[in-house]
Amino acid sequence: MEDRYIVSDLDDLEEVAGKLASALTSGDDGATARIVLFYGSMGAGKTTLIKAVCEALGVEDTVTSPTFALVNEYRTAEDKPVYHFDFYRIERIEEAYDLGYEEYFYSGGLCLVEWPEKIEPLIPYDDPSVRLSTVSITVNEKGARIIDCHIV
């Protein structure tokens, strides 16, 4: 799926999140790792979009930014794990190693990663066992969010 969405208000976000959630779970056999990298400046709406995607997946937990914990775990309506990472505050890439990022990335659970540029060398771009997707969010001059998605 390669799409661009323009989100002017939170009502539009629900529809976009539903489409993303559907694309992220299609063909999900649990055997392939699925990692989604969320790019965007501070305040662009990465966490808000992730909350909406989790809601569309049936997550009933409170979805919050794991800024200080680095990772939060949620469960979908089908009891599948969703791992939400926020690497904004890491200062050394070793902090991702200390967290045990590989266990999450290769767990078969859905990994939603904010600030992936902070761990760029650790992203498994060339690993055929990983379904790596990207979501980029920018804000236009009217304050609308432009969401560019490449979901595999």
Task: Give the model's pLDDT for residue 9.
Answer: 87
Whether 44 has a pLDDT exceeding 80, the answer reads yes
> What would the two tokens of residue 92 be?
């050394």
Phi-psi region of 95 (alpha: psi -120 to 50; beta: other; left: phi over 0): alpha
Percent of the chain residues topping a pLDDT of 90: 83
| Mean predicted lDDT score pLDDT of the chain | 93
- When pLDDT is cut at 50, 70 and 90, the band that residue 30 belongs to is low
Cβ atoms of 12 and 145 within 8 Å: the answer is: no
Contact between 99 and 70 under an 8 Å Cβ cutoff? The reply is: yes
Confidence of residue 31 (pLDDT cuts 50, 70, 90): low
**Residue 11 confidence (pLDDT) above 90:** no
* Bridge partners of residue 132, in order along the sequence: 35
What the chain holds in terms of domains, given with CATH numbers, is: 2-150 (3.40.50.300)
pLDDT at 1: 83
Q: Which two tokens stand for residue 58?
A: 């049936």
Q: Which residue has the higher pLDDT, 68 or 101?
A: 101
**pLDDT average, residue stretch 25-43:** 84
At residue 29, the pLDDT reads 64
Does residue 25 register a pLDDT over 90?
no
- pLDDT at position 10 is 83
Q: Degrees (nearest 5) of the Cα angle 47, 115, 6?
A: 50
47-100 pLDDT, tens digit per residue, is 999 999 999 999 999 998 888 889 999 999 999 999 999 999 999 999 999 999
Is residue 47 within 8 A of residue 65, CB to CB? The reply is yes
Q: Which two tokens stand for residue 7?
A: 């989100």
What tokens appear for 125 in the block?
């771009």
